[in-house]
Amino acid sequence: MNKIRLALAFSFLVSVLSFAQNNAVGAGETLIFSASYNMSGILTELAQVKMETSEVNTSKATLLRLKCTAATYSKWDNFFKIRDLYESYVSPKTLSPYLYKREIDEGGYYKFMQYKYSHKTNTVKSLKKKKKKGGGFNEENTTVSISSTTRDLVSTLYKLRTLDLASLSTGATKSFKVLFDNKENIVNFKYLGTETINTSLGQKTCYKLAISINNSDVLKGTNDNLLWLTADATKIPVYAKFKIAVGNGELKIKSATGLKN
């Protein structure tokens, strides 16, 4: 398997994810998942994905840190080592982002992105660093204009959990503007109803959502990119499936601690 396949797969895995008040997510939550990818027709568990929340005090405010990491298990490191970090610093009440960082370290490829949000001017100061082949980094500073509702990947996934999904009719769609690599994308979550599935946390009734991206061929198939959130006040993700041009995979929850509800 070439490196591009795993890079695309894990970028989506960690990625796969209104102004409603946040009653679902609090500090001290830890969700741990196993990440699997289809290798030569066999779904193989390759990595661990961890999602953590914590309180951060600054000179001006108290923020909620949303931290997501992905790391291959040690037995796979010699084949294709992954150590990825995605984190967003948000308002605890609305989950609006103020700072976002993304650090990709996959099989010798390294990339760093940072967004500093200005909600008054609807702009983002973006910093991008990429490792040069001969050593050192290429650095790019950009100011990006965004809409008032634009978010990053991490804060979008957590924001989804604050929505009143129980009130939706089957087939209804919620859309988010997501800034990725300095470009706004429209990510859609289509509500497919409820489904009861078996998980490591026991049998759970879940809201089932299909994910799509406007004007993009990254995600393949119809209703093949799916996310299951528990049908309760916390709405934690417990299972996800994805299908892209170079393969398919899944995320399964292993443990959940420190839940707000």
Question: Residue 200: is its pLDDT beyond 50?
Answer: yes
pLDDT in tens, 88-131: 999 999 999 999 999 999 988 899 999 999 999 999 999 999 98
Backbone Cα Rg of the chain? 18
Question: Taking a C-beta distance cutoff of 8 angstroms, is the pair 184, 177 a contact?
Answer: yes
- Give which of 66, 143, 142, 72 is closest to 102, Cα–Cα: 66
Sketch out the chain's domains with CATH numbers: 3-257 (2.40.360)
Rounded-to-integer distance, Cα 142 and Cα 15, Å: 23
Question: Residue 250: is its pLDDT beyond 50?
Answer: yes
Backbone angles phi, psi at 249, to 5 degrees: -165, -170
pLDDT in tens, 205-230: 999 999 988 887 778 777 889 999 99
Given this model, what pLDDT does residue 60 score? 86
pLDDT in tens, 5-59: 555 555 554 444 334 578 899 999 999 999 998 877 888 999 999 999 999 999 8
